[in-house]
Amino acid sequence: MTAQTGPGLVDESAPAGDQLQQPFSAADPAAVLDFTEVHRSYPVLADFRARLGATPLKEVPSVEGGARILAKCEWENPIGSIKDRIAYALMADALRTHGDGDPRDLRLVAYSGGDLAEAMSFLGMQTGVKTRFVLGSFVPKSLIDTLEGRGSLVDLVPKELGFLRVIRRSQRIAVEEPGWTLVFQHSNPVNVAMHEQTTGAEIVTQLGERRPDLWIASIGSGGTLVGVLRALRKRFPDVRAVGVTPEEAPYGNPEAPGGKPTYEGSGGHGFGIRQPFVKAHDEWIHEQRHVPTRRALDAMGEFFDATGMRIGSSAAANWLIAKDYAARMPPSAVVVTVFPCSGTPEQWVELGR
């Protein structure tokens, strides 16, 4: 990879037909999420689906005199993060395509920031599907132990190369190593559909009579930001939306990626690549905001000290941006955000809490 940075650089690692650069158009959730047959063949997946979601929408500390902040608390999913929803949808989608075949003949390779892998390895173990995860070498040892303990394979990409290289490695495995089917969370429509049909629909119900003024979400694949936004806009067409990424890896960043650590599950890819789900909805998103990773980590501790609740680093970044907007809005206004996970044991040790 080139060591230079600057606008106009070309990503030489992009494969032909790069899924990251295909245009996206959203599908009807009811159609793409019809997993009736899959549930019949795999009752464990039906059971997991029944335990997904219905996570609380909690009021969290805001700024004195400012808008109220409501956060969807996603660590209450079965494996502990928002990605449980997407791991389920991607696994069910892959099994639907596999049809009547023996699940042991299905071998899935997926890239992940960590949470998707954790949930998908569980589902692989439950269904008999072989799973393999490409991860950045920044992931905690506790996660690698969990994945390997469940029989998943793990490939680590040096963290200095950035998350784009993690994606590229998984694409290469699918091309060069026969038998591995690529799970591509950044382009599979079930990702957005699942958030529209579950996360977003739950928020609409939980809001009741309250009208959201602003929806704020960190961007990894962009599935959460866009899927929930699609559900909110059906009921509240005027809702505004803000994407959040680390300052070290902003959305749409034209520079070459890599080098600096970033907070969990979020970030732009570099080379000017914009996540397909977000790119397709750019005009619905009013602002892109950035949070330095050190600031997000410190805010985990601040939130814990204020509430006794553990939130992850992307949640903390969302909270900081939510407070920033809330400070400029009246107390009658409502800001909705999401807390994707509760952080890793290693982060809490480092934070001394």
Give the interface with ligand PLP as residue ranges (CB under 6 A).
81, 83, 113, 115-116, 218-225, 264-266, 312, 314, 340-341
Q: For residues 306 and 258, what is the distance between their CA atoms, to the nearest angstrom?
A: 34
Q: State which residue, 293 or 314, has the beta carbon closest to ligand PLP.
A: 314
Q: β-strands 153-157, 68-73: how paired?
A: unpaired
What is the smallest separation between the CB atom of 19 and ligand PLP, expressed in angstroms?
Answer: 15
The residue (of 45 and 225) whose beta carbon lies closer to ligand PLP is: 225
Are 107 and 132 within 8 A, CB to CB? yes
User: Nearest residue by C-beta to ligand PLP?
Assistant: 265
Q: Which is nearer to ligand PLP, 291 or 329 (CB)?
A: 291
Q: How far is the CB of 173 from ligand PLP (least distance, A)?
A: 19
Q: How far is the CB of 224 from ligand PLP (least distance, A)?
A: 3
**Could you tell me the sign of the dihedral formed by the alpha carbons of 244, 248, 254, 259, in that order?**
negative
Tokens of 345: 């044991």
Q: Which of 334, 123, 235 is nearest to 133 (CA)?
A: 123
Q: How far is the CB of 264 from ligand PLP (least distance, A)?
A: 4
Residue 171 or 266 with smaller CB distance to ligand PLP: 266
Provide, rounded to whole angstroms, the least separation between the CB of residue 205 and ligand PLP.
20
The helix (H) or strand (E) run that includes residue 40 is helix 36-41
89 versus 341: smaller Cβ distance to ligand PLP = 341
- Determine phi and psi for 161, rounding to 5 degrees: -85, -15
Radius of gyration of the chain (CA): 19
Counts of helices then strands in the chain (DSSP H, E)? 14, 10
Residue (2 or 142) nearer to ligand PLP, CB? 142
Closest CA to 162 of 274, 298, 255: 255
Half-sphere exposure (Cβ direction) of 186: Cα atoms closer than 13 Å: 31
Tell the smallest beta-carbon distance from residue 215 to ligand PLP (Å): 13
